[in-house]
Amino acid sequence: MTTTTQTGTRADDRATAVAARATDLTKVYGQGETRVVALDNVSTEFRKGEFTAIMGPSGSGKSTLMHCMAGLDSVSSGSARIGDTELSALKDKQLTRLRRDKIGFIFQAFNLLPTLTAAENITLPMDIAGRRPDQPWLSKVIETVGLSGRLAHRPAQLSGGQQQRVAVARALAAKPEIIFADEPTGNLDSRSGAEVLGFLRNSVRELGQTVVMVTHDPVAASYADRVIFLADGRIVDELRDPTADDVLERMRRLPGGNPRTPGFDATARTS
């Protein structure tokens, strides 16, 4: 039976609607002898309210896939869509507006402005766009990532894990249709990494967010609902409801697969 949430959205809608889709997506760099096919006719979709991890050996195309889907890089052929919007059809200003309004980004390097407080960093994209934050939503996000007592602190006064929490909150605050995270725990210790992944997991489960994360770490991938594996620019495997051991085993089977030793305690996972 279909159920209805407090927001009026049918519970099965979130499970079937697509936040982003790649269709026969190809990305080629260079020409002639320097020609490199980074993505080779990749087709996949990222469903709303789902946490997807992208994994593969170095050079497999995982970061290229994320950058093309996020509108940070152009495609050579095929299609990359956010919702019903074809990214290649957009002019530069339209693409900038779409990234600002519909996409959240979390990077390994945090990318916080050192002169702003945590609260100011969180709302900065909306401030630039001239939009007022939805205060109940913003409060919910801040509570979810555990920053209520740190909002007046500047980045230098925060630990690495706390800075990445600010980056997570910044990505969530504008209610994006999808969040792309590029190795978000790469600069964190094991405890902080587990905390940030738990917050991303909670944002999907409690806030209905859609998250796509590139990672090398099998334990990080185990927080996802689904893992897709790339090798030589193609999707070669997929795993749902992953465990770290399952991911590690799949990675070992890939051409050139040499997965990083899991960096943090799997028992810290928030399921």
Per-residue pLDDT at 189: 86
Per-residue pLDDT at 186: 85
From its phi and psi, is residue 218 left (phi > 0), alpha (psi between -120 and 50) or beta?
alpha
Per-residue pLDDT at 143: 86
Per-residue pLDDT at 262: 46
33 membership: H or E segment, kind and range: none
Give the chain's largest Cα–Cα span. 57
The pTM score is 0.84
The side-by-side arrangement of strands in the sheet containing 234-240 is 103-107, 178-182, 211-214, 51-55, 226-231, 234-240
Mean pLDDT over the full length of the chain: 87
Strand partners, 51: 211
Residue numbers in the chain where pLDDT is lower than 70? 1-16, 256-271
Per-residue pLDDT at 3: 41
CATH superfamily of 46-62+89-268: P-loop containing nucleotide triphosphate hydrolases (3.40.50.300)
Per-residue pLDDT at 256: 66
